[in-house]
Chains A and B, each alone.
Chain A
Amino acid sequence: MAQDTGGAKDAGPWIDPLKYLEAKPDLPKDTVETAKKIGPLTYTVLIDEKHLVSKLYNMVNVPTGVWINEKGRIVRPNEVAFVDDRFKNFTAMDSAPYLNALKDWVEHGDKSAYVMSEDHLREKLTANDPNIAQAAAEFGLGEQLYKSGHPAEAIPHFKEAQRLNPKSWNYKRQAYALSSEKDYGTTFRDEVIKSGGSKVYYPPPELPQAEKKP
């Protein structure tokens, strides 16, 4: 689920690198090689130009994962979801515990030790904060102005979204990517340091110790 205001133009090369070899020659070689190796995708990849999923699920960063069971109920809420180790140098986070938890859920379903209780889920998910909702509206207005040919006029609204929901990295990084960090008087690196470093930027998933099987 690509959270990309630029739509297929920006997200496309990462979904189907082989299709964009000419249009985007600077794609990392390992991305292209992996695409050749795995062939056509076996899962669904969607493009979310309006950051709708982030709005509906109160997400603040990428990658964020949510587990949804066969009945359409959330069983693990928003959390950092690395499925490989390509950013391990920055995150210092190993993807193996998350992947093992995921496999356990696939095998045991709602009985998995990694499925959260309803109270715990509600505590983590419910955030009906008017400032967060207003931030989403300011960000949406910024996107509309950007897409209708007013990128400079979009900036004050992107800044307002960041002020109202300072925890959202999506609002910061998407806005920087649409113009320049200079327009915001900061850099991504400085913002990560200011927030408390990569462990705050990517809080490790809350995974209970898996039960030892006899």
Chain B
Amino acid sequence: MKANVCSGLFLLFLLTALPATAKELHATIVYDDAATGVNAAREESDQLWITTADLKRATRFEVKPQGVCRDELCFPLPKSRQQDFVHKDSGASWFNLTAFAQLVHQPVAHDPALSTWYFGLRSDQRQMLSSLQAPDFTLPDLNGKRHSLSDFHGKKILLVTWASW
């Protein structure tokens, strides 16, 4: 009986200690349509935690006192829910990228078998159209030379999509 209690306690200890480290795996994160491999990702019931170093590498966002920021863009984290987004253990600082996506109304698609995560356009990017200002983009031509819509500012533009299929 005593042995059972001991092993039960040990198991309980393992169960509380494990989630932080047991599911660390390699994941692919697609952000702004660019894929980045991340070696230490934690997937916990459809939540994706990555280190803040990987956050910067995969998304260019950084956690700062004023919020999660990239260049001029900054999204403040709700003060009462900081622990939903950031926590420290194993000598690293971890960030919940899926919780952040929910905060900024960004769609996420996930393939669990291949540990691949796709982060789509945030609502602020999608709402740009209602300003009637044409969303800018940069794409290559057949020779690989990159062109931006904004390169044609000052001229009338007929933007036409087509496809080979």
Q: Do A and B come from one complex?
A: yes
| A121 interfacial contact with B, CB 8 Å | yes
Complex Cα spacing A85 to B135, Å: 30
Residue count of chain B within 8 Å CB distance of chain A: 51
Contacts of B35 in A (CB 8 A): 144, 148
A8, A121, A126, A138: which contacts B142 (Cβ < 8 A)?
A8
User: How extensive is the interface on chain A, given as a class?
Assistant: 35 or more
Which residue in chain B gives the minimum CB-CB distance to A64? B161
Contacts of B28 in A (CB 8 A): 144, 148
B120, B130, B136, B155: which contacts A134 (Cβ < 8 A)?
B120
Which residue in chain B gives the minimum CB-CB distance to A76? B158
| B21 interfacial contact with A, CB 8 Å | no
| Contact string against A for B residues 101-128, beta-carbon threshold 8 Å, 1 for contact and 0 otherwise | 0000101111101101111110101111
Flag if A64 contacts B163 (CB, 8 Å).
Answer: no
Counted as pairs of residues, one from A and one from B, with CB atoms less than 8 Å apart, the total is 189
Contacts of A16 in B (CB 8 A): 142
Complex Cα spacing A106 to B155, Å: 10
Segment with Cβ contacts to B, from A52-60, A194-202, A204-212: A52-60
Partner-B contacts on A (CB < 8 A): 1-4, 6, 8, 10-16, 44-48, 50, 52-59, 62-74, 81, 83, 102, 105-106, 109, 118, 121-122, 125-128, 130, 133-134, 136-138, 140-141, 144-145, 148, 150, 153, 157, 160, 170, 173-174, 176-177
Partner-A contacts on B (CB < 8 A): 28, 30, 33, 35, 105, 107-111, 113-114, 116-121, 123, 125-130, 132-137, 139-142, 147, 149-150, 153-165
